[in-house]
Amino acid sequence: MTDTHPPEQNPEARWFGFREVAPAERSAKVQGVFANVARRYDIMNDLMSGGVHRVWKQVFVRAVRPRPGERVLDVAGGTGDIARRLHAATGGQAQVVVCDISEPMVGVGRDRAIDRGISPSLAEGGIAHLVGNAESIPLPDRSVDAYTIAFGLRNVTHIDRALAEARRVLRPGGRFFCLEFCPVDAPGLRRLYDLYSFQVIPRLGQLVARDRDSYQYLVESIRRFPEPPALAERMVAAGLSRPRWRSLSAGIVSLHSGWRT
């Protein structure tokens, strides 16, 4: 895809963590990260967060409040943790579709769903898994009731394109939800958080996933992600109205929501 957006509109596109890269190369680098860690991704989430990511995801799914019969699209859905929670929240009555750019991550998620007795077919009440880019989602306009993206948006090269795609696939009145890490501001907490992020997490990545660099990227990418008010403005610019956000765990994570009118 050619890079038609002016770079200042998507300043993150030039950054792979703290390293400056050509926007056209960024996605391949991100895909490399997730191909490397796919098999150890979920265990690493538990270890890094002490299990707290489960609470954040529970709060997220409660906010989405999927209803029976709705179609919910989980973009950058990775190994399907959020998708299975959304599916379970309606007793398997919602049509949940995962879309992620990483074939290895999607493969782990599909296998995990099958192991748990969930069909890979929407027609059979299961969860569908698609390999696709958040910037060009392989679904028709106005085809989903809710769009979710958890810990995914900061990995996307052009955030504004992804937000515009969210609006495109949502039906009028459809709901948008984003869960993402935030740069932490509180000075006391920030020092501790930085110490843990930069000293502990990459070492844990090396020990458990045999990949220090990928986890170094993950902690750096959080520092490059827009603050909640800036993201809210970009949601509105993309046509997602009434943006709201709430902080979880002293601002380590933010839950954003909006609507397609």
Q: Which residues bind ligand SAM (CB under 6 A)?
A: 27, 30, 34, 75-78, 81-82, 100-102, 105, 133-135, 150-152, 155-156
Instruction: Render the burial of 183-220: b for 16+ CB within 10 Å, e for the rest.
Output: bbeeeeeeeebeeebeeebbeebeebbebeebbbbbbb
Closest CB to ligand SAM among residues 133, 254: 133
Cβ–Cβ < 8 Å for 252, 193: yes
Give me the least distance between CB of 10 and ligand SAM, in Å please.
12
> Any idea what the Cα angle at residue 215 is, between residues 223 and 2, rounded to 5°?
65
Nearest to 8 by CA among 175, 149, 160: 160
Closest CB to ligand SAM among residues 65, 191: 65
Closest CB to ligand SAM among residues 95, 148: 148
Give me the least distance between CB of 246 and ligand SAM, in Å please.
17
Paired with 173 in beta bridges are none
Helix axes of 41-49 and 201-209: crossing angle, nearest 10 degrees = 150
Give me the least distance between CB of 191 and ligand SAM, in Å please.
24
Give me the least distance between CB of 129 and ligand SAM, in Å please.
12
Please report, as a single letter, which amino acid is at residue 226. Answer: P
Give me the least distance between CB of 205 and ligand SAM, in Å please.
13
Closest CB to ligand SAM among residues 58, 261: 58
Closest CB to ligand SAM among residues 34, 259: 34
Closest CB to ligand SAM among residues 99, 187: 99
For residue 67, the number of C-alpha atoms closer than 13 Å in the C-beta half-sphere is 6
Residue nearest to ligand SAM (CB): 78
And the tokens for 214? 């990928």
Give me the least distance between CB of 19 and ligand SAM, in Å please.
17
Nearest to 49 by CA among 223, 247, 217, 215: 215
Cβ–Cβ < 8 Å for 228, 256: yes
